[in-house]
Structure 1
């Protein structure tokens, strides 16, 4: 099959959630013998280089075009009544590239990664004909409208109004996309069920889970010493849910941890730390790394992966990675959402500051619990989260339109 992939970011290097997901989808389909063309907007020369690297690595065609002024993109959303997250990724030059390509090549399927990319398909006229020859798939990943609503509920004016506006407009876009596309999928069943409540007919929505490369994430040869525990959080550190989780842990719990374990360290490993995260590096025992070339050594030196999410949607790749590395994970029920795990067996869940402190104490004082988490986590990942396993239904979805039209 000829497949067009419209990615909101160049999915290489695969170093953050949505890029990891899209990269492995593309890699899987290439291995299945399909011919892929990837379209992606870019913000700088580095991303053009990444696009060239992706093309060389997987043997796919990658077409990019530069985004315009970020300020103008935001202003455009206000002037036209569109979601900011849609105009943020819209590039007229990329739209032209797509339409030029459609004049010379007819794809069998088009896949969009995130609702923001649907506008390219809509403007190209691919949603207008009931007899169109290609399947249209939408990888929503997360239910973004609900994420923006969470932001609004946890913000004060004027940002509350901004987030409410985005939640409303994105929800409208999600509904329209569902009607126009042949099938849509989310990372977890929780997302599917939440979206299905808004639909009269939910037959075109399903789960396409995240997976994990178990050759890249595996347990350390020697577990960390619990006497001077090392806590770890990983992720893009200007992303609001990540920033909120880390700030809550440090501001509400870190001093209690230090009182019990004076030699404890907390490593915040991830690119683009916000100014508030950078300031945390001045506190006792806290290290803010910024971008790191390899994340595995940080998992291997840690004692506990701490993930106190209060804002989140979908499956957290970082938690899957930590579990694959045999690292005890303590997270909120929201952080564990969508993962096929049993609290107390594969990870620990906590909702309050007192709960987190109690869970930390349990892990660090119970060798039996440590061993159970170090053993059960990797086994769960091997059984349920290999990329080949989670993506096995994707080829059938790509042929859905042709089969319906036959």
Structure 2
């Protein structure tokens, strides 16, 4: 057994492949902490096939991996989980309640863990009611805020009603569960302030958003009218953002830039979006899942973040900036990131403003290069993934030692 203190890291989902922001953030932190102050045991659901397929990636982020049986997800999963609408918990939480996983976590903590980290608020259902060691809750968003924003942009009255109900349930769940943990870690000062405003939270700390600067190497932006978006396309916020861009922005942009084309890089693109692009004969490409986004991103002229819903911080923004793509984003798309409009990116919050900003960027190669270089300098100065991992490690150390 290692002489280093034992840290148990509990994830409610298998972290590989790293095909969405939360998984990327978590694995970057664990990779940066591996071999440091703690002996890290990672716990998550996994099948034997998943464990075997991703063994090298698992070994790169932890000293020991313990899996509990992963639940099978069938084609009707999205429909069957709707039965949880009647639960007092939000659907996303109720659907993940797993007594077997909870028992495995308790057994592991009883073996002498000196600090435990629970990844995402949903993992609160896996934390023992009575503390067996100091605990950290790693939040990637203010989840209730995401549901509120979904309600605000929902077009159908029934959808608004459902999202409002989920917002109320998640707000209650966060307020009840977060105070159970010795430290709450937020991914931005904005989120941290929201958690500090909740009664009874013991200690709330913020970490910056990091990016792997060696992996996402810099290249100058391209000269064509090629736009890029990356993100998991089965995540509702990304679906809403791309639908908004397709329906309300695209026709305004092509009036100015007839040669514009779009590549959406991300797993499981929503069939309705793919069919609509084909039906309208739009020059859009949906890649689906890719092992490496870089070949699909390099050479693009601009990166667009048309999000209207979300929480936490968008790692996609920093990845694009690191790779040299000038960014046009809604304010929400870069929320929580210390960026300045006109210096590291261009902000546009209406269809007209976004089309105008993209036209301006695509028409001006000097502006593209200036934003590209300034954005890369920013992430180099503030966003090293290794520095973020060290910050997280410090928080775990202080929590273990009972330091405020």
Which of the residues 111, 115, 124 maps onto 1:109? 115
- Cα RMSD between the aligned structures? 2.4
Alpha-carbon distance between aligned partners in 2 of 1:349 and 1:398, rounded to the nearest angstrom:
36
Give yes or no for the alignment of 1:349 onto 2:353: no
Give yes or no for the alignment of 1:275 onto 2:274: no
Find the residue that maps to 1:141 and give its secondary structure. coil
Please name the residue that 2:187 is paired with.
187
Decide whether the 8 Å contact of 1:65 with 1:91 is kept in 2. no
Alpha-carbon distance between aligned partners in 1 of 2:137 and 2:40, rounded to the nearest angstrom:
16
Give yes or no for the alignment of 1:6 onto 2:10: yes
The number of residue pairs the alignment matches comes to 393
Cα deviations by residue, 1:137-188 (Å, 9 ceiling, x for unpaired) = 0011100011111112222333223222221222112112222110101111
User: 367-376 or 86-95: which moved more?
Assistant: 86-95
Relative to structure 1, the CA distance from residue 278 to residue 392 in structure 2 (aligned partners, 3 Å threshold; closer, same or farther) is same
Alpha-carbon distance between aligned partners in 1 of 2:115 and 2:26, rounded to the nearest angstrom:
15
Alpha-carbon distance between aligned partners in 1 of 2:186 and 2:177, rounded to the nearest angstrom:
13
Decide whether the 8 Å contact of 2:7 with 2:41 is kept in 1. yes
Give yes or no for the alignment of 1:215 onto 2:214: yes
Please name the residue that 1:306 is paired with.
304
Alpha-carbon distance between aligned partners in 2 of 1:64 and 1:15, rounded to the nearest angstrom:
21
Alpha-carbon distance between aligned partners in 2 of 1:366 and 1:79, rounded to the nearest angstrom:
53
Alpha-carbon distance between aligned partners in 2 of 1:62 and 1:51, rounded to the nearest angstrom:
14
Alpha-carbon distance between aligned partners in 2 of 1:269 and 1:126, rounded to the nearest angstrom:
43
Cα deviations by residue, 1:97-124 (Å, 9 ceiling, x for unpaired) = 2233344x11011111111111111xx3
Alpha-carbon distance between aligned partners in 1 of 2:360 and 2:256, rounded to the nearest angstrom:
13
Alpha-carbon distance between aligned partners in 2 of 1:257 and 1:405, rounded to the nearest angstrom:
53
Please name the residue that 2:247 is paired with.
251
Give yes or no for the alignment of 1:38 onto 2:42: yes
Relative to structure 1, the CA distance from residue 94 to residue 22 in structure 2 (aligned partners, 3 Å threshold; closer, same or farther) is same
Please name the residue that 1:137 is paired with.
136
Find the residue that maps to 2:333 and give its secondary structure. coil
Give yes or no for the alignment of 1:74 onto 2:81: yes
Please name the residue that 2:318 is paired with.
320
Please name the residue that 2:145 is paired with.
146
Alpha-carbon distance between aligned partners in 1 of 2:20 and 2:372, rounded to the nearest angstrom:
24
Stretches of structure 1 lacking an aligned partner (at least 5 in a row): none
Alpha-carbon distance between aligned partners in 2 of 1:218 and 1:253, rounded to the nearest angstrom:
30
Alpha-carbon distance between aligned partners in 1 of 2:151 and 2:35, rounded to the nearest angstrom:
42
Alpha-carbon distance between aligned partners in 2 of 1:247 and 1:319, rounded to the nearest angstrom:
19
Alpha-carbon distance between aligned partners in 2 of 1:304 and 1:380, rounded to the nearest angstrom:
17
1:37 Cα offset (Å): 1.6
Higher relative contact order (CA 8 A, sep 6+): 2
Please name the residue that 1:178 is paired with.
178
User: 30-39 or 329-338: which moved more?
Assistant: 30-39
Please name the residue that 1:56 is paired with.
59
Please name the residue that 1:97 is paired with.
104
Relative to structure 1, the CA distance from residue 364 to residue 215 in structure 2 (aligned partners, 3 Å threshold; closer, same or farther) is same
Decide whether the 8 Å contact of 1:208 with 1:390 is kept in 2. yes
Decide whether the 8 Å contact of 1:343 with 1:349 is kept in 2. yes
Relative to structure 1, the CA distance from residue 268 to residue 96 in structure 2 (aligned partners, 3 Å threshold; closer, same or farther) is same
Alpha-carbon distance between aligned partners in 1 of 2:207 and 2:85, rounded to the nearest angstrom:
33
Find the residue that maps to 1:394 and give its secondary structure. helix
Find the residue that maps to 2:328 and give its secondary structure. strand
Decide whether the 8 Å contact of 1:68 with 1:91 is kept in 2. no
Which of the residues 246, 256, 271 maps onto 1:260? 256
Alpha-carbon distance between aligned partners in 1 of 2:56 and 2:96, rounded to the nearest angstrom:
21
Decide whether the 8 Å contact of 1:52 with 1:62 is kept in 2. no
Relative to structure 1, the CA distance from residue 79 to residue 340 in structure 2 (aligned partners, 3 Å threshold; closer, same or farther) is closer
Alpha-carbon distance between aligned partners in 1 of 2:168 and 2:398, rounded to the nearest angstrom:
30
Relative to structure 1, the CA distance from residue 56 to residue 267 in structure 2 (aligned partners, 3 Å threshold; closer, same or farther) is same
Alpha-carbon distance between aligned partners in 2 of 1:256 and 1:315, rounded to the nearest angstrom:
28
Find the residue that maps to 2:185 and give its secondary structure. strand
Alpha-carbon distance between aligned partners in 2 of 1:72 and 1:336, rounded to the nearest angstrom:
32
Decide whether the 8 Å contact of 2:141 with 2:311 is kept in 1. yes
User: TM-score, normalized by length of structure 2?
Assistant: 0.90
Q: Which runs of 4+ in 1 moved over 6 A?
A: none
Find the residue that maps to 1:290 and give its secondary structure. coil
Please name the residue that 1:165 is paired with.
165
1:87 Cα offset (Å): 2.3
Alpha-carbon distance between aligned partners in 2 of 1:31 and 1:2, rounded to the nearest angstrom:
12
Find the residue that maps to 1:146 and give its secondary structure. helix
